[in-house]
């Protein structure tokens, strides 16, 4: 089932004298949602522009399906949609006119599709207003509708939820998941809001200073980097020392203790021991969500 779709081999890119990407290597399979993660300036947008054929690499090779972006930029752009920071909208046109313009440009004029997308992104009531008067969130949602007009098989999303309110974030993340599930769209997603993307991504590529420093699923990265289980428990327990039931413990809040276990196997026994002495309202493993893994992966680079 794993069919390589994006293949990046030893890719490098310079802007002037600045080496922005160094020997980049990664593969994304068809139908995956992949998070491209890394701090500001690590080269994520540059990588997307190379995949999309908008700029050319200095070295290495890239495949997007059967295409090489160096020679086949147009076919790739016909099959892909892109949402960038600016969204590329015409502010002097209405929301509807923007979609009409791009649908004609892409040669995919379909009024029903336009109306469906406006409806899906909660823009029907605003479709006759000028895009320049839209809020940041509305522009972002219109940009997404524009990126999806031609039913792309590949979608590049650069910070898709930036500037959206909680309802907008939920709407967009739900749509991304649905699109991938129903149409099998391959999605490369750049975001700094890690708790949002961990709900939708199948795997992650971690970048740092123009290099891939790690790639894998949450589970793969967890098993490689997480060597203990940190359990945060909301409880009335008052341990007398820094060990309880043979587990090291420290107080991190008035009613919150943090236990450090060698692995998950000891959690049930620990909770049973706590419950013999006090109440428990919540127990959460805190060191295996995407944010914790992100810092762990990056931390190892700096050690
Ligand atoms: N057209 C360009 N000309 C010169 N330098 C550029 C150009 N585009 C990007 N850079 C530089 O390349 C580096 C990587 O930029 P890029 O935008 O790819 O990073 P990023 O990971 O997407 O950052 P962010 O998270 O802030 O969006 C930065 O140092 C940036 O200044």
- Count CB neighbours of 33 within 10 A: 22
Cα 172 to Cα 144: distance, rounded to the nearest angstrom: 9
Query: Among residues 6, 68, 8, 4, which one has the least CA distance to residue 210?
Result: 8
Q: Over the stretch 88-113, which tens digit does the pLDDT of each residue have?
A: 789 999 999 999 998 988 888 888 88
pLDDT band at 78 (very low <50, low <70, confident <90, very high): confident
Per-residue pLDDT, 194 = 87
Cα 190 to middle of ligand 1, angstroms? 13
Binding site membership of 45 for ligand 1 (Cβ less than 6 Å): yes
pLDDT band at 271 (very low <50, low <70, confident <90, very high): very high
Per-residue pLDDT, 303 = 61
Binding site membership of 44 for ligand 1 (Cβ less than 6 Å): yes
Query: Among residues 174, 191, 198, which one has the least CA distance to residue 120?
Result: 174
Q: Which atom of ligand 1 is nearest to the CA of 159?
A: 27
Binding site membership of 15 for ligand 1 (Cβ less than 6 Å): yes
Cα 212 to Cα 53, 74, 262, 266: the distances in Å are 20, 27, 29, 35
Query: Among residues 154, 160, 157, which one has the least CA distance to residue 139?
Result: 160
Cα 36 to middle of ligand 1, angstroms? 14
Query: What residue owns the CA closest to ligand 1's atom 18?
Result: 43
Task: Write down the ipTM of this complex.
Answer: 0.96
Structure tokens at 275: 């419950």
Per-residue pLDDT, 288 = 85
Q: Which atom of ligand 1 is nearest to the CA of 38?
A: 21
Cα 232 to Cα 34, 221, 272, 276, 285: the distances in Å are 29, 21, 15, 18, 6
Binding site membership of 42 for ligand 1 (Cβ less than 6 Å): yes
Percent above pLDDT 70 for the chain = 98
Query: Among residues 29, 25, 30, which one has the least CA distance to residue 9?
Result: 25
pLDDT band at 85 (very low <50, low <70, confident <90, very high): confident
Q: Are 275 and 175 in contact (CB under 8 A)?
A: no
pTM (two decimals): 0.86
Cα 84 to middle of ligand 1, angstroms? 13
Query: What residue owns the CA closest to ligand 1's atom 16?
Result: 43
Q: Over the stretch 29-54, which tens digit does the pLDDT of each residue have?
A: 999 999 999 999 999 999 999 999 98
DSSP string, 206-244: EEETTEEEEEE-HHHHHHHH--SEEEEEEE----SSSEE
Cα 109 to Cα 150: distance, rounded to the nearest angstrom: 9
Cα 276 to Cα 269: distance, rounded to the nearest angstrom: 11
């Amino acid at each position: 089932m794993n069919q390589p779709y994006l293949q990046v081999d030893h890719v490098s890119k310079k802007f002037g004298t600045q080496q922005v990407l160094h020997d980049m290597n990664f593969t994304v399979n068809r139908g995956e949602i992949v998070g491209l993660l890394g701090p500001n300036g690590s080269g994520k947008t540059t990588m997307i522009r190379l995949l999309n054929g908008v700029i050319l690499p200095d070295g290495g090779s890239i495949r997007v399906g059967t295409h090489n972006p160096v020679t086949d930029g147009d076919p790739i752009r016909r099959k892909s949609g892109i949402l960038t920071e600016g969204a590329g909208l015409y502010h002097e046109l209405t929301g509807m006119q923007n979609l009409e313009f791009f649908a004609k440009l892409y040669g995919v004029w379909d009024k029903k599709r336009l109306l469906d997308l406006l409806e899906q992104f909660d823009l029907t009531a605003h479709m006759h207003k000028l895009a320049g008067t839209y809020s940041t969130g509305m522009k972002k949602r219109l940009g997404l509708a524009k990126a999806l007009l031609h039913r792309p098989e590949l979608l590049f999303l650069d910070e898709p939820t930036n500037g959206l309110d909680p309802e907008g974030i939920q709407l967009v993340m739900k749509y991304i998941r649905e699109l991938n599930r129903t149409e099998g769209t391959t999605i490369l997603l750049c975001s700094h809001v890690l708790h949002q993307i961990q709900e939708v991504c199948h795997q992650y590529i971690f970048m740092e200073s123009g290099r891939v420093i790690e790639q894998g699923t949450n589970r793969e990265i967890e098993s490689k980097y997480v060597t203990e289980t940190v359990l945060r428990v909301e409880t009335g327990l008052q341990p007398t020392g820094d060990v309880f039931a043979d587990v090291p413990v420290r107080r991190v809040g008035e009613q919150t203790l943090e236990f450090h276990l060698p692995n998950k196997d000891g959690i049930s026994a620990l909770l049973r021991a706590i419950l013999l002495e006090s109440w428990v309202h919540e127990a959460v493993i805190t060191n295996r969500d995407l944010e914790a893994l992100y810092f762990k992966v990056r931390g190892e680079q700096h050690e």
